[in-house]
Structure 1
Amino acid sequence: MDWNTYEAALFDLDGVVTPTAEVHMRAWAKMFTEFLADHPEARPYGDEDYFGAIDGKPRYDGVRSFLASRDITLPEGDPDDSPDAQTVCGLGNRKNEVFSQVLADEGVDPYPGSLALLRQLRAAGMPMSIVSSSRNAPAVLEAAGVSDFFTHVVHGGVAAEQGLAGKPAPDTFLYAARLLGAPADRAVVLEDAVSGVRAGASGAFGLVIGVDRGVGADALREAGADVVVADLDELLTDADRQEGDA
């Protein structure tokens, strides 16, 4: 991996820098399992629903996608809806409440390989930003102790404020690249979700790296990943890898 070819690195957060994708999975499963108790005619929630309908998307888009998969229609509601509201926004807020409680109770550490790559890139002067669909991204970065690595955090709230379409549209990645002053074809996208990889591929970025944390290498390649790794330590230079092993 020759990082000198590129001018910016754009990281997804959950599942790429931190293992919070697992926390999101548990939060979605708890919320939708409880919700479906009132819809016995619908197929139960399963992990395949997370990867197929929710992973990588803005929160309310994930709710809409899952409900459509069960032919359930709810009012849209408003982002200020109570977590108890039977609306798209209410369900999204209920999921966020569960996620926030798990994060507060358990905390989060970055993946060791991801932390090693962040240190290598910072030492090389590579500008880096987070591009996450989650509005919780700043809190997760703070909890993991890695906020200082990133010049900008383009999260779901920023996307809403700027009127940017969420992943799989490339808009949030393109916006982050512009903030760093890098053209898309000189920026690297690092993603673990199919929707995020599709965003990188459709934005004509210089390199799209898929991180296989469970969705499958074939699925990431089919979505447009140029390279697929199991962990970001595979992208370290030999010198940095040997230093980490010492």
Structure 2
Amino acid sequence: MVPYKIPKLLIFDCDGVLIDSEIIATAVHVEALARSGYVISADSYNSRFLGMTDEQSYSIIEAESGLRLPKDHQRCVMAEIAKRYASDLKAMTGVRQALDAINLARCVASSSDPDKLHFALRVTDLYDHFAPNVFSASEVAYGKPAPDLFLYASEKMNTSVDSCLVIEDSVAGVRAAVAARMRVIGFVGGSHCPPKHAERLKEAGAMTTFSHMTELPKILAGR
């Protein structure tokens, strides 16, 4: 249930919410990091870096390990992700039905870089559900868990923060919404979500969680 009032604006994260992409992207990141001498499991990578920008995660990795990633690291990672997205990426099960059933203003606010974000939405046929209201962390000073991106989205959509509702799958994203003084609910239906992920999102500030996109219209209706 969404307490107090129905929102005027839904702000969707993209990766792991609209598209089941995290398992693909994480595999590419883990493989590329291993080639550079930084070994980390997919579960550990997601636990630490899910929801952050790539630049944020690279900065932490380099500071902790003393490694310097190759200058073409990001370019190679993005090229491989695009290749795998083109062949393997799927929209989250039930997301189109949910979007069609919800008569509220909506936008996307993602940590992904703009090219990757737009490509992912287009290859899954979701772009037209949001266009042109697709916002990237590259447009603000600080990525999640800072509130900047969600505040930017609410400003661009001419909606007060107390009338926004964020749908997020990451702890960093939930914390960003809380820092922006927005209500937030957690989505745990992505293939990357580990056991007890719902509890982690609630601890970070999510009001409730759900595991299938077809549940979202019911949650918004207070059922």
Q: TM-score range by the shorter chain?
A: 0.7 to 0.9
- Corresponding letter in the other structure for 1:224: G
Aligned counterpart for 2:141 among listed residues 156, 161, 164: 164
Q: Percent identity?
A: 23
Q: Deviations over 1:44-99 (max 9, x none)?
A: 32123322332111111111223334x2242xxxxxxxxxx724xx3233321221
The whole-number CA distance in structure 1 between the counterparts of 2:181 and 2:137 is 22
For residue 228 of structure 1, report the CA deviation from its aligned partner: 1.1
Aligned to 2:122: 142
Q: Deviations over 1:113-145 (max 9, x none)?
A: 222211112xx2x11111111111101010010
Aligned to 1:55: 50
Say which one has the larger Rg: 1
Aligned to 1:211: 187
| Residues 1-246 of structure 1 mapped to structure 2, 5 A cutoff | 1=1, 5-36=6-37, 44-69=39-64, 71-74=65-68, 86-87=70-71, 90-104=72-86, 106-121=87-102, 124=103, 126-135=104-113, 136-150=116-130, 151-157=132-138, 159=139, 163-205=140-182, 207-212=183-188, 213=190, 214-215=193-194, 216-237=197-218
The whole-number CA distance in structure 2 between the counterparts of 1:65 and 1:52 is 14
Normalising by structure 2, what TM-score?
0.86
For residue 19 of structure 1, report the CA deviation from its aligned partner: 0.4
Q: Structure 2: 5+ residue runs without aligned partners?
A: none
SS of aligned partner of 1:237:
helix
The whole-number CA distance in structure 2 between the counterparts of 1:95 and 1:63 is 12
CA RMSD of aligned residues (A): 2.2
SS of aligned partner of 2:36:
helix
Normalising by structure 1, what TM-score?
0.79
Q: Structure 1: 5+ residue runs without aligned partners?
A: 37-41, 75-84, 241-246
CA separation of 1:51 and 1:100: change in aligned 2, threshold 3 A: same
The whole-number CA distance in structure 1 between the counterparts of 2:79 and 2:17 is 22
Question: After the TM superposition, which parts of structure 1 deviate over 3 Å for at least 4 consecutive aligned residues?
Answer: 1-4
SS of aligned partner of 1:198:
helix
- Corresponding letter in the other structure for 1:130: V
